[in-house]
Amino acid sequence: MMRVATLFLALVLFLPLAQAASESSWTHEFEDGYITTKPLVIEDSVFVRTSGFWTGDARPVIAAFDVQSGDEHWRFTSQTSLQHDMAPLLYAEQGSGGCGSWQDLLIVGWADGKVTAHSTEDGSLVWENQTEIDQIGITGSMLIEDDQVIVPTRTGLSSFCLADGEEILNVDVGFIGWRNGVTAIEEGFVFGDESGNLHTVLRNGSVFSTHLGEGKIRHAPLDTRHGLFVHLQTEEGSTLFLNGSVLASVGQSPAIPLMHENRIYAATSDEWISILCDEDTCSIEATEPFHSNGELALRIVGTEIEVWAHSNTVSGGWGIFNQTAFVRMENFSFNTYGTAAPGFGPGVIAYGNDAGVLKVTFESSEPLGEEKTSVNILGGIHYAAVISLFLFTCYSLAHRDIKQLTKVGSAFLLLIAIAVVPELSLKLAEQTSPNGEAEWNPSWPDEWLGTQVIVFEIDGVEHTIGGLEPQQTVYDLTMIACDELGIETEIEQQYFGAYLVSFNGSVGDGWEFSLDGSRSQVGMTEAQLNDTSIVEWRPA
Amino acid sequence: MLSAIGTHGPTVSPTTMMVLNVILFIIGVWLLIKPQDRKQTWLWALLLLTGLASASRIAMGFIPNVMPVTILAVMVGSKFGAQRGFAFAILVTLASNAVLGHGWWSLFQILGWGSVAILASMVKVHDEEGILSMSQLAFASLWSVPVFSIIVSLSIIDAGMSPIEFGLYLVNGLLYDLLHFLGNLFFAMWFGQWFERLLNMNQPHHQIVQQENGHVSTF
């Protein structure tokens, strides 16, 4: 019996460890440079490039890491590129075509106008070619069509053979472009420039240009069934164009929009935008307050769609939206400004930001689903243990074995209590606690009126912040506020759900929050906020 | 000294906390080694159980109020007396809170488990021959909970808290007290005899054999 008891206790003790082991990650910090573009997760490797703020002998790099261990496979350093290397990396799977055959390649467009192709195995240079430069070279997204890579250059468009890098097409449109990604359409290729022109290059090299308006086209146009969609950056803000007609005027510094099925997702410094394209036209269906100026990314989790947008604010993080609404924030301790979308692989997410930090997480790539699975497993074990102990208790009772009955019965009752006490306790607290209302503190700035405010009482000192972007849950607001206030947090997934272990390393007897003056019936990840909620964290 | 008074008791400054911990540790060691007439057969057993109780409290921190510390405080108090029982309470609290976090509550936890040990030294869960009574231990699983719970809850009292609010606080904790009781009962029923063997580890062999024969329950 002693062995059984020890095994039982060991199982109870190791459950949280097993759950903790299901969430792992690694981080690599580049000493110099932003990560401005999406890391690529290809099979067992993560590829990433750096851009900007290098000093002295430091230069921009592309690097490959083992996706599981974080070991660096290889690194290629450009000795000639200038700042602002922000053309997304492009992966070309091995193949063959009219101009030859090629291995798996990583295609890189550089700010010094070079296009280089690297072996994904060791980073060695397979071929390189040069495009036009006008102070700067390539900054937009490239694409692969058949056996060619199509490159938006500073002044036009080029294409190169994937096998040997031989230039096949070179078109100069007479205008300079910046982050001017290219899109393939039926007639050829289309891209924008810094003067508000939309250029269509036919495959025979002919060029047709359209002036949309005064502004800058800094993304690859989207080819919808109602014509090309363009988000034009203007002096006052930005304008959405569909097939040459104005759709709407929105905020400043637009992000790079993306399209999925019948929806277009866009963002600015002011909002995240969901545009629905029906049978007749496209129109804005939903907006959410958000600040994003870089890449957007799409992830499909089961039947759900997630649109990820990097929050380009000091608190950083990634906002996750469904088709029409904000869902949650994904935050890390290294959060800061950023424009890079996360890269997705099977069970893997790779994040990069302006601090040059690359973080790769596994298994938690589907955080909600993973958590649910873990809870289901724990719940299943718990349920099986309760049933088994119940049957064993009945057996002991039937055989009038009192000694055994006390043991098995105590274990049975304990497991039942562990399952029901937390929820019952919350309900009891709700019944017995006076219904409080959060009080507005007159010492708080007036600018916080009508916004969410959060208070932390740590070591007897209150830290308060308000006026942040509205958040969905107590967890989201807590994370954002802690980043703003420089408070370190430690959160664990425990038996009863997400558990805030410490603020600034202070564990105490635990921490509890009140929402608008009342104890919440649910945990911090489920507790929903309104736009004027007041959250208070205090020692338990 | 006390940097703030809040709804959860005074917040003690790190320096004060350190001084308090040192004083408590010295008291704990003094209570432990203070000579008594009895032979010192308890020392290693007590230190071993202190380590066991501290480690299990830390390891089981994810299940609130379920830990073997209270039942061990009962057994140590009953077996070795109030002085050693209180020393046990001090050392376990200091050791486990070194990981879980020290604060004003540490003092009340020590008082809570110390009081349980002192009461157990009077109520006893061992008979006159020193044999563990499982029925008494089961009963101690129950009475030790309100003793510990009320004393620990005193840590939240401040000048602005009314008796009604304190009462509501206690009522809100009743279900967790139930969990505490069931946890105590579980450890008593499943591990009571094993803990007892550890308590007896340095006793002469013939005494242990004598006691084993008188066991109410053995594994």
Residue B93's CATH number: 1.10.1760
Element (H, E) at B27: helix B14-33
Chain B positions touching A393 (Cβ under 8 A) are: none
The per-residue b/e assignment along A138-177, b for 16 or more CB within 10 angstroms, e otherwise, is bbbbbbbeebbbbbbbbbbbbbbbbbebeebbebebebbb
B4 band by pLDDT with thresholds 50, 70 and 90:
very low
Indicate the domain borders of chain A: 2-14+370-432, 446-539
Find residues 264-293 of chain A whose CB sits inside 8 Å of chain B.
Answer: none
Domain residue limits at B67: 2-213
Give CA B94 to chain center in angstroms.
Answer: 12
- What does the alpha-carbon distance between residue A463 and residue A485 come to, in Å, rounded to a whole number? 8
Helices (H), A448-540: 474-485
pLDDT recorded at residue A377: 72
Reference A215, options A249, A258, A183; nearest CA is A249
Of residues A110 and A400, more confidently modeled: A110
CA B77 – CA A531 distance, rounded (Å): 55
How close is the nearest chain B Cα to the Cα of A533, in Å? Answer: 21
Tokens representing B15 are 């320096």
% of chain A exceeding 70 in pLDDT: 86
pLDDT of residue B214: 42
- Pairing relationship of beta strands A453-458 and A534-539 according to DSSP bridges: parallel
Banded model confidence at residue B37, pLDDT cuts 50, 70, 90? low
pLDDT at residue B8 in the model: 41
pLDDT band at residue B5, thresholds of 50, 70 and 90? Answer: very low
Q: Is the pLDDT of residue A460 over 50?
A: yes
Across the range A236-247, mean pLDDT stands at: 92
- The whole-number pLDDT of residue A368 equals 38
Would the CB atoms of A406 and B63 count as touching at under 8 Å? no
* CA distance to partner chain A, nearest, from residue B101 (Å): 5
Residues 391-410 of A with CB under 8 A from B: 403, 406-407, 410
Is residue A398 classed exposed, middle or buried when 0-12, 13-18 and 19+ CB atoms within 10 A define those classes?
exposed
Closest residue in chain B to residue A539, using alpha carbons only = B8
Residue B218 located in a structural domain = no
Question: Which amino acid, B92?
Answer: V
pLDDT on residue A16: 46
Mean pLDDT of A329-334: 73
At A383 the pLDDT is 80
Retrieve residue B170's tokens.
């206690």
**Local structure of B157: helix, strand or coil:** coil
Residue A509 reports pLDDT greater than 70: no
A423 SS3 class: helix
Mean pLDDT check: name the lowest of A85-94, A410-419, B165-174, B209-218.
B209-218
What is the pLDDT confidence band of residue A215, given thresholds at 50, 70 and 90?
A: very high
Given a cut of 90, is residue A386 above it in pLDDT? no
Q: Which of A69-83, A216-230, A485-499 has the lowest mean pLDDT?
A: A485-499
- CB distance B66–A494 less than 8 Å? no
The pLDDT score that the predictor gives to residue A6 is 55
Does position A367 have pLDDT exceeding 90, yes or no? no
Q: What is the DSSP letter of B173?
A: T
Overall average pLDDT of the B52-73 stretch: 89
Q: What string of DSSP letters covers A277-341? A: E-SS-EEEEEEEE----SBEEEEEETTEEEEEEE--STT--EEEE-SSSEEEEE--TT-----PP
In sequence order, which residues have a C-beta less than 8 Å from that of residue A383 and are 6 or more positions away?
none
Exposure string for A25-39, b = 16+ CB within 10 A, e = fewer = ebebebebbbbbbbb
Asked if B66 and A506 come within 8 Å (Cβ–Cβ), the reply is no
pLDDT, residue A207, reads 92
Is residue B219 domain-resident? no
Quick check: A341 and A351 in contact, CB under 8 A? no
Q: What are the DSSP calls for A188-199, one per residue?
A: EEEEE-TTSEEE
User: A62 forms bridges with which residues in the sheet?
Assistant: A49, A76
**pLDDT over threshold 60, residue A497:** no
Residue B97 has pLDDT above 50, yes or no: yes
More confident residue, A437 or A540: A540
Most confident of A467-471, B84-88, B202-206: B84-88
Report chain A residues whose CB lies below 8 A from the CB of B8.
Answer: 538-540
Least confident of A13-27, A86-100, B13-27: A13-27
Instruction: Identify the residue with better confidence: B103 or B210.
Output: B103
Using CB atoms, pick whichever of B59, B168, B182 lies closest to residue A433: B168
What is the sign, positive or negative, of the torsion defined by CA atoms of B136, B139, B143, B148?
positive
Tokens for B191?
């591990």
pLDDT surpasses 80 at B54 = yes
- How much is the average pLDDT of B182-197? 92
Whether residues B103 and A417 touch (CB distance < 8 A) is answered with: no
Cα(A407)–Cα(A395) distance, integer angstroms: 12
Distance CA A347, CA A250 (A): 35
Task: Answer whether A538 sits within 8 Å of B8, measured CB to CB.
Answer: yes
Complex ipTM, two decimals? 0.73
Say yes or no for a CB contact (<8 Å) between B182 and A5.
no
Averaged over A58-87, what is the pLDDT?
A: 86
Q: B179: Cβ–Cβ under 8 A, 6 or more apart, which residues?
A: A414, A417, A418, A421, B64, B65, B66
Distance from CA of A367 to the nearest CA of B (A): 21
The verdict on a CB contact (< 8 Å) between B172 and A428 is yes
The residues that bridge with A169 in the sheet, in sequence order, are: A159
Query: What average pLDDT does range A181-187 have in this prediction?
Result: 93
**For position B41, what pLDDT does the model report?**
67
Tell me the residue length of chain B: 219
- Averaged over A388-393, what is the pLDDT? 85
C-alpha–C-alpha distance, residues B97 and B86, integer Å: 16
Q: Which CATH architecture has domain A446-539?
A: Beta Complex (2.170)
According to the model, what pLDDT value does residue A140 have? 94
Please report the pLDDT score of residue B218 as a whole number: 33
A103-113 confidence digits (pLDDT tens): 999 999 998 89
**What is the pLDDT averaged over residues A275-298?**
91
Worst-scoring range by mean pLDDT, A17-26, A184-193, A229-238, B148-157?
A17-26
Two tokens, residue A135: 């102070």
Measured in degrees and rounded to the nearest 5, phi and psi for residue A330 equal -110, 115
Rounded average pLDDT over A469-498: 77
Q: Kindly tell me if the per-residue pLDDT of B157 is higher than 50.
A: yes
3-class DSSP string for A85-114: CCCCCEEECCEEECCEEECCEEEEECCCCE
Q: Per residue, what are the HEC states of A365-404? A: CCHHHHHHHHHHHHHHHHHHHHHHHHHHHHHHHHCCCHHH
Cα dihedral A374→A375→A378→A382 (10° resolution): -170
Per-residue pLDDT, averaged over A193-212, amounts to 92
The predicted model gives A169-175 an average pLDDT of: 92
pLDDT of residue A202: 93
Q: pLDDT at residue A471 above 50? A: yes
pLDDT at A436 over 70: no
Alpha helix (H) residue ranges in A101-161:
none
Interchain pair A5, B190: CB under 8 A: yes
Mean pLDDT of B90-115: 88
Is B47 part of a structural domain of the chain?
yes
| Residue A5, pLDDT score | 57
Please check whether residue A127 is in contact with residue A99, taking contact to mean a CB–CB distance below 8 angstroms: no
Number of domains in chain B: 1
Q: How far is CA A235 from CA A214, A220, A251, in A?
A: 8, 20, 10
Token pair, residue A504, equals 């600034």
Tell me what pLDDT residue A54 has: 59
In chain A, the N- to C-terminal Cα span, in Å, equals 38
Cβ contact A183:A143 at 8 Å: yes
Q: Do B179 and A421 touch (CB under 8 A)?
A: yes
- Name the packing angle between helices B174-199 and A402-432 (round to 10°): 150
Which residues in chain A have Cβ-Cβ distances shorter than 8 Å to B106?
none
Q: Supply the pLDDT for residue B1.
A: 30
Average pLDDT of span A432-461: 76
Instruction: Quickly tell me which residue has 């070194």 as its tokens.
Output: B98
Residue among A274, A344, A351, A369 at smallest CA distance from A311:
A351
Q: Encode pLDDT of A77-94 as tens digits.
A: 888 876 678 899 999 999
In this structure, of A43-52, A77-86, A375-384, A386-395, the range with the lowest mean pLDDT score is: A375-384
pLDDT, one tens digit per residue, over A304-327 is: 889 999 888 777 788 899 999 888
- Which one-letter amino acid corresponds to residue A114? K
Question: Residue A384's pLDDT is what?
Answer: 83
Task: Quote the pLDDT of residue A9.
Answer: 57
pLDDT confidence of B150, banded at 50, 70, 90?
very high
> Per-residue confidence at B3, pLDDT binned at 50, 70, 90?
very low
